Amino acid sequence: MVRAPCCEKMGLKRGPWTAEEDMTLVAHIEQHGHSNWRALPKQAGLLRCGKSCRLRWINYLRPDIKRGNFTSDEEEAIIQVHAMLGNRWSTIAARLPGRTDNEIKNVWHTHLKKRLESSSKPSGQAAPKRKAKKPAVAASALEGPTSEPASSSPGQSLSTSSATGYSMASSLENTGSSSSEEFQIDDSFWSETLAMSADSSGSGMESSDTFGVDSGAPSSSNDEMDFWVTLFMQASDIQSLSQI
């Protein structure tokens, strides 16, 4: 299928976003939503292609996005889910509310992959010979849309409810679990979740009936997806119960 290039190269801006562009995009989405990414930049008066706008919103400007370093629990979760699903970053991201697939992908390639590789080596060498991740750089990232130190930091002004919540966040909210204004997962959540996944992966990813997935072993990716969806639904139930 032949398709037109995602954007006419003529006249469309590329590269890092400025604070003004960020604000324009955010303001437009807050007002009109983003039902049509392709038409959005034109309507908003942005010289960007829709794809670029979508990426910027998803990865940076969404109000429900969580910045800052990944916790060890989050990293463990990524490792676990990646072991099950492979490079399905968006699926993994759906398990980590507030984290984007791009961010997770970056973390995987820069940290987790190496960590796993080094841990699989017998002598445990290959320690990072360079600096540790610079502290709080990610947390401050929102303050500086790339080229501009965003004193305006658009994300901070977005206290309105998320236009596009990740499925996990919304499903957890549906369970009635507390704060919808800012979704937070405490350590116990991950401990329980990971414990469940460890249990099931040990004896059992084969025994899918643990989670009511019928028709035998989850050999297909759909079954795996069902497994993880079920897993997180149950995990959210646990969290809900723990708050009673």
Partner DNA sequence: AACCTCGCCAACCGCTGCTCG
Partner DNA sequence: ACGAGCAGCGGTTGGCGAGGT
Please enumerate in sequence order all residues whose Cβ is within 8 A of that of 238, keeping only pairs 6 or more positions apart, or say none: 189, 192
Q: Please report whether residue 14 would count as binding DNA according to CB under 7 A.
A: yes
15 or 124: CB nearest DNA = 15
Both structure tokens of 168? 């996990």
CB of 132 to DNA, least distance (A): 7
CB of 2 to DNA, least distance (A): 7
Q: Which of 21, 19, 243 is nearest to 144 (CA)?
A: 19
CB of 56 to DNA, least distance (A): 5
Q: Please report whether residue 111 would count as binding DNA according to CB under 7 A.
A: yes
Rounded-to-10 torsion of CA 175, 69, 73, 184: -20
* Selected binder of DNA within 73, 75, 103, 224 (CB under 7 A): 103
CB of 96 to DNA, least distance (A): 13
Both structure tokens of 170? 């919304």
**Binding to DNA (CB under 7 A): which residues in 139-198?**
141, 145-146
Phi, psi of 217 (to 5 degrees): -70, 145
102 or 171: CB nearest DNA = 102
Largest CA distance in the chain: 58
Cβ-contact 21, 46 below 8 angstroms: yes
What is the identity of the amino acid at 164?
A: T
Q: Please report whether residue 224 would count as binding DNA according to CB under 7 A.
A: no
Q: Please report whether residue 203 would count as binding DNA according to CB under 7 A.
A: no
Q: Which stretch binds DNA (CB under 7 A): 37-45, 168-176, 180-188, 190-198?
A: 37-45
Q: Please report whether residue 228 would count as binding DNA according to CB under 7 A.
A: no
Cβ-contact 142, 17 below 8 angstroms: no
Please enumerate in sequence order all residues whose Cβ is within 8 A of that of 44, keeping only pairs 6 or more positions apart, or say none: 24, 25, 27, 28, 53
Both structure tokens of 188? 């116990």
For residues 43 to 72, the per-residue mask of contacts with DNA, x marking binding by CB under 7 A and - elsewhere, is: -------xxx-xxx--xx------------
Enumerate binding residues for DNA (CB under 7 A): 1-4, 6, 14-17, 36-39, 50-52, 54-56, 59-60, 87-91, 101-103, 105-107, 109-111, 128-131, 133-134, 137-138, 141, 145-146
